[in-house]
């Protein structure tokens, strides 16, 4: 259908404006539509590509979500574990503090026959001068009362 | 027609949902699967000046039971729990069998690690219906050390808030407790947080740490020596205070009898507070040091002013005696102090202008609270106006008819040690805020001059004569190698408004006398062994002062001691 129109219109033009021109020249000057190059690219790969991308995206998102969820589980588990460990550490620190209690240390030291330090003397290293009246330690009774037995659990 | 009816119903529901109450439904939808968790703020620790813990907060859990589940195996479970948690078997059994109940406390404030172990072990043994819930624990690792100052936290209230019961825990409750935070987030079916769900966190603000000026080891030593002193004198109670003369920082403040802050349930409630602060008593002759310093500062006398001290002084309403029989003595002012003569002190105090002594004593801090930050502190009684008669004035000059709390008296004597400048005593290192917004602590301690440096030095030299074996009355207070200045006190006690014949004996002093580093004060109430300030307080003072000087490696000054004449 498109081929018929250009053929008819030059005839009209020639008859109106250039009756003297011959047919060959006219043929040379005639404009013709270049036949359209029809690309026949296959559609399948494109569809495949899109599908793959879509699928990867969906699956990836799913995996990502799952792994996030998994991480959240792990996080709560680790948090619980850290809580337990922190509590354990606190319990041990408390036990240490209890063992360091001066009352207890003094009682232990006294059992081994140790006494509170006697008067000491001081030596000034620059002048060599000695001040103070040193005295030897003397065995004596323990200070104060032994501490009440500490109970492990408090109500 | 039928379809139209159905659609109308849908439309009506739509109007109800969207038009009538959209907000509530949206909130209900959002609340589904969303939880809110309180993030508990950790209560601040209380530590001594070296960072040693005195009170500490640790994670704790309460063990609770659902009796509808535990009833079946109650006897076995009660046996297991009472053994592992140190509980009473029968109480536990009763709770595990409580009819018509789904919630019973089994144990409160159990350290978290221990509670989890026990509950896990119970589950392993096949017991059901035992759970744990958060219940923070306050521990006092030092037990009775400083307990009268610290106070303690009782069992938490129902809403989990702390219940401070006395002392610093109560006074600084707001400062220590901080503010709880809150987290809201969406959870899945298993209770884990949904990663991309809504979540908001308002973080908890932990309480502040309270650092005291106390030295835990010295506090321990003070308490032991005090306990021995009170028991040996067969006294009722006592107090020891040791502090840094220059800064007013209290290194130990011991009360006897005391209690164990980690087991307050084992002691009566009247032991919980610090009687060094809450009880007012008559200081006796220790107060003479303040009278003498004031007299010298006012230019009325010097340390060598001579007095003829008769055997008895007849005054307006009654004769004044000395605690020892004597004829007419020829004593210097130093001698009056060294022998602790009431008659001599009254004669010297006669030189004061009207109102002068009271104004000095006020500046020494008597009659007003020290404000160290512990509630229930007694201001003591310093009579004024019509109460200040000439008879009262006589007795006040030698430390009767006025009352003080032990810390007030410590700060007053320390004024002489600190060259005449009074510095507020402090228990809190740095600053901390009380409930009413007041800042207290060594960071805001005020200083004010009470007597001149020269008056303080003269008084200090006179006080050295008190320790002298020949001139003075308290050789037992001497610290070998050091120059010590001090003063004994023996005062009648007011019990239920009358002098009941019992006494308060005390000794206050500082060392080294010519460059004071520490001031110590020992008070024993109602000794029944007939001892006075020199024989009861002196040796305890000597031990404590000697220990403190060694502990802080203070070398003796090596200068010769005061040889002020006591007689003429």
Assess whether pLDDT exceeds 80 at residue B146: yes
Which residues are paired to B187 by β-bridges?
Answer: B193
State whether A73 and B482 contact (CB < 8 Å).
no
Q: For residue A155, what pLDDT is reported? A: 34
Q: Looking at the domain assignment, is residue A60 inside a domain? A: yes
Out of A33-42, B121-130, B411-420, which region has the weakest mean confidence (pLDDT)? A33-42
- Whether A72 is in a domain gets the answer yes
* Binary contact (A153, B111; C-beta < 8 A): yes
Determine the Cα–Cα distance for residues B169 and B278; give it in Å rounded to an integer. 16
The residue of B105, B141, B262 whose CB has the most chain A CBs within 10 angstroms, and thus the best one to mutate to test that interface, is: B141
CA-CA-CA-CA torsion sign (B540, B546, B550, B552): positive
User: What whole-number distance in Å separates Cα of residue A67 and Cα of residue A62?
Assistant: 8
Please state the domain count of chain A.
1
DSSP B76-112: HHHHHHHHHHT--HHHHHHHHT-TT-S-EEEEEEEEH
- Chain B residue closest in CA terms to A69: B195
Other beta carbons less than 10 A from residue B179's beta carbon: 13
- Residue from the list B190, B220, B263 with its beta carbon closest to the beta carbon of A102: B220
Give me the percent of chain B exceeding a pLDDT of 70.
96
Residue B256 to residue B259: CA distance in whole angstroms: 9
CA atoms within 13 A on the CB side of B149: 33
Residue of B nearest to A155 (CA): B108
Q: Is B319 helix (H, G, I), strand (E, B) or coil?
A: strand
* Averaged pLDDT for residues A111-127: 87
Give per-residue burial for A93-109: e unless 16+ CB within 10 Å, then b: ebeebbeebbbeebbee
Q: What is the pLDDT, as a whole number, of residue B134? A: 80
Nearest CB partner across the interface for A143, out of B142, B143, B228: B228
Shortest CA gap A139–chain B (Å): 15
pLDDT digits (tens, 9 = 90+) for B246-299: 999 999 999 989 988 888 888 888 888 899 999 999 999 999 999 999 999 999
Measure A102 CA to nearest chain B CA, in Å.
7
B241 by DSSP, 3-state: which? strand
One-character DSSP codes across B347-392:
HHHTTSPTTHHHHHHHHTTTTS----S-TT----B---GGG--HHH
| Confidence (pLDDT) at A149 | 38
Give Cα B550 distance to the centre of its chain. Answer: 25
Domains in chain B, please, with CATH? 58-139 (3.30.70.2110), 216-551 (3.40.710.10)
Minimum Cα–Cα distance from B221: chain A residue: A143
Q: Is residue A94 part of a domain?
A: yes
pLDDT attached to residue B31: 64
pLDDT of residue B357: 93
Q: Of A37-46, B82-91, B110-119, B217-226, where does mean pLDDT reach its minimum?
A: A37-46
A15 touches chain B (CB under 8 A): no
Find the CB nearest B481 among A106, A119, A150: A119
Tally of CA atoms within 13 A in the half-sphere of B28 that contains its CB: 6
pLDDT (tens digit, 9 = 90+) per residue, B400-436? 999 999 999 999 999 999 999 999 999 999 999 888 8
Cα–Cα distance list, B142 to A94, B45, B101, B388, B548 (Å): 10, 13, 39, 46, 20
The predicted structure's pLDDT at residue B517: 96
Q: What are phi and psi of A99, to 5 degrees?
A: -70, -30
B154 touches A: beta carbon within 8 Å: no
In this complex, is the C-beta atom of A113 within 8 Å of any C-beta atom belonging to chain B? no
Lowest mean pLDDT among A9-13, A105-109, A127-131, B127-131: A9-13
Is residue A128 in a domain? no
Q: Is the ipTM of this complex over 0.85?
A: no
The overall longest dimension of chain A from CA atoms, in Å, is 150
Residue B174 has pLDDT above 80, yes or no: yes
Q: How far is CA B204 from CA B44, B179, B182, in A?
A: 13, 6, 7
* Number of Cβ within a 10 Å radius of residue B389: 13
**A80 found inside a domain:** yes
> Which class for B302: exposed (0-12), middle (13-18), buried (19 or more C-beta within 10 A)?
middle
- Please tell me the distance in Å from A51's CA to the nearest CA on chain B: 27
Backbone angles phi, psi at A87, to 5 degrees: -65, -40
Q: B557 in contact with A at a CB cutoff of 8 Å?
A: yes
- For the record, the structure tokens of B179 come out as 């503010």
Average pLDDT, rounded, for chain A? 78
Dist. CA B310–CA B315, nearest whole Å: 13
**CA separation for the pair B476, B353 (Å, rounded):** 36
pLDDT band, residue A80 (cuts 50/70/90): confident
Chain B residues near residue A78 by CB distance under 8 angstroms:
none
CA distances (Å), origin B283, targets A4, A91, B324, B329, B523: 134, 46, 19, 25, 9
CA dist B276 → B55, B169, B410 (Å): 21, 17, 10
Q: Is the pLDDT of residue B48 over 90?
A: yes
Tens of pLDDT, residues B309-357: 999 998 877 888 888 888 999 999 999 999 999 999 999 999 999 889 9
Angstrom distance (rounded) from CA B339 to CA B293: 16
Is residue A76 in a domain? yes
* CA-CA-CA-CA dihedral for B557, B559, B560, B565, to nearest 10: -90
pLDDT, average across residues B522-541: 90
Least confident window among B126-140, B445-459, B536-550: B126-140
Judged by CB atoms within 8 Å, which residues 75-114 of B form the interface with A? Answer: 85-87, 107-114
Of A84, A144, A152, the CB nearest to B228: A144
The mean-pLDDT minimum among B154-163, B222-231, B311-320, B516-525 falls in: B154-163
How far away is chain A from the Cα of B528, in angstroms, using its nearest Cα? 19
- Please determine, for residue A154, whether its predicted confidence score (pLDDT) is greater than 90: no
Domain carrying residue A104: 45-112
Residue B198 pLDDT exceeds 80:
no
pLDDT tens sequence across B88-108: 899 889 888 888 888 888 888
Residue A26 lies in a domain: no
- Residue B533 is classified by DSSP as I
- In the numeric block, which tokens belong to residue B472? 């003075």
Within-domain flag for A50: yes
Q: Do B114 and A91 touch (CB under 8 A)?
A: yes
> Per the CB < 8 Å rule, is B139 touching A94?
yes
pTM of the model: 0.82
């Amino acid at each position: 259908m498109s081929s018929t129109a250009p053929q008819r219109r030059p005839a009209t033009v020639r008859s109106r404006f250039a009756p003297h021109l011959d047919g060959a020249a006219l043929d040379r000057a005639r404009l013709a539509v270049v036949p359209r190059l029809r690309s026949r690219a296959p559609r399948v790969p494109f569809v495949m590509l899109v599908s793959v991308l879509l699928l990867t995206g969906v699956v990836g998102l799913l995996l990502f979500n799952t792994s996030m969820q998994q991480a959240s589980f792990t996080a709560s588990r680790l948090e619980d574990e850290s809580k337990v460990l922190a509590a354990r550490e606190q319990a041990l620190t408390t036990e240490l503090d209890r063992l360091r209690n001066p009352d207890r240390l003094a009682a232990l030291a006294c059992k081994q026959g140790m006494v509170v330090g006697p008067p000491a003397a001081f030596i000034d290293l620059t002048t060599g001068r000695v001040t103070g009246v040193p005295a030897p330690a003397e065995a004596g009774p323990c200070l104060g009362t032994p501490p009440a037995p500490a109970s492990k659990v408090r109500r | 027609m039928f379809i139209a009816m159905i659609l109308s119903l849908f439309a009506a529901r739509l109007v109800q949902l969207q038009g009538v109450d959209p907000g509530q439904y949206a909130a209900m939808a959002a609340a589904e699967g969303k939880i809110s968790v309180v993030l508990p703020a950790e209560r601040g620790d209380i530590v001594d000046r070296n960072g040693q813990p005195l009170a500490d907060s640790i994670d704790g859990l309460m063990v609770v039971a659902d009796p509808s589940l535990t009833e079946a195996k109650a006897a076995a479970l009660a046996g297991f729990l009472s053994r592992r948690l140190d509980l009473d078997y029968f109480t536990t059994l009763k709770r595990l069998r409580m009819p018509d109940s789904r919630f019973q406390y089994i144990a409160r404030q159990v350290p978290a690690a221990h509670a989890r172990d026990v509950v896990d072990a119970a589950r392993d043994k096949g017991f059901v219906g035992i759970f744990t819930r958060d219940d923070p624990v306050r521990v006092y690792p030092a037990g009775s050390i400083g307990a009268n100052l610290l106070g303690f936290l009782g069992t938490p209230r129902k809403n989990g808030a702390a219940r401070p019961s006395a002392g610093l825990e109560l006074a600084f409750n707001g400062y220590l407790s901080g503010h709880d935070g809150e987290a809201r987030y969406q959870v899945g079916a298993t209770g884990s947080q949904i990663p991309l769900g809504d979540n908001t966190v308002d973080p908890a603000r932990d309480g502040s740490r309270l650092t005291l000026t106390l030295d835990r080891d010295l506090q321990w030593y003070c308490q032991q020596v005090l306990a021995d002193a009170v028991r040996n004198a067969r006294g009722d109670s006592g107090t020891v205070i040791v502090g840094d003369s220059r800064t007013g920082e209290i290194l130990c403040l011991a009360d006897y009898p005391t209690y164990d802050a980690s087991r307050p349930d084992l002691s009566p409630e009247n032991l919980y507070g610090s009687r060094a602060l809450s009880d007012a008593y008559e200081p006796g002759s220790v107060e003479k040091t303040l009278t003498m310093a004031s007299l010298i500062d006012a230019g009325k006398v010097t340390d060598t002013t001579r007095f003829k001290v008769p055997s008895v002084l007849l005054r307006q309403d009654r004769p004044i005696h000395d605690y020892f029989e004597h004829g007419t003595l020829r004593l210097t002012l130093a001698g009056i102090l060294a022998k602790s003569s009431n008659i001599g002190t009254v004669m010297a105090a006669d030189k004061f202008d009207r109102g002068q002594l009271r104004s000095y004593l006020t500046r020494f801090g008597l009659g007003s609270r020290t404000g160290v930050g512990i509630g229930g502190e007694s201001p003591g009684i310093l009579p004024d106006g019509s109460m200040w008669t000439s008879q009262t004035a006589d007795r006040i000059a030698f430390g009767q008819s006025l009352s003080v709390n032990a810390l007030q008296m410590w700060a007053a004597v320390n004024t002489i040690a600190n060259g005449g400048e009074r510095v507020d005593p402090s228990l809190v290192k740095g600053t901390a805020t009380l409930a009413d917004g007041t800042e207290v602590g060594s960071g805001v301690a005020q200083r004010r001059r009470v007597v001149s440096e020269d008056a303080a030095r003269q008084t200090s030299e006179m006080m050295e004569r008190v320790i002298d074996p020949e001139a003075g009355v308290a050789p037992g207070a001497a610290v070998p190698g050091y120059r010590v200045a001090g003063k004994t006190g023996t005062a009648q006690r007011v019990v239920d408004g009358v002098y009941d014949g019992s006494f308060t004996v005390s000794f206050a002093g500082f060392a080294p006398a010519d460059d004071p580093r520490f001031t110590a004060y020992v008070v024993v109430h109602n000794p029944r062994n007939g001892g006075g300030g020199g024989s009861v307080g002196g040796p305890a003072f000597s031990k404590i002062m000697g220990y403190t000087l060694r502990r802080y490696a203070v070398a003796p000054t090596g200068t010769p001691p005061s040889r002020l004449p006591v007689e003429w």
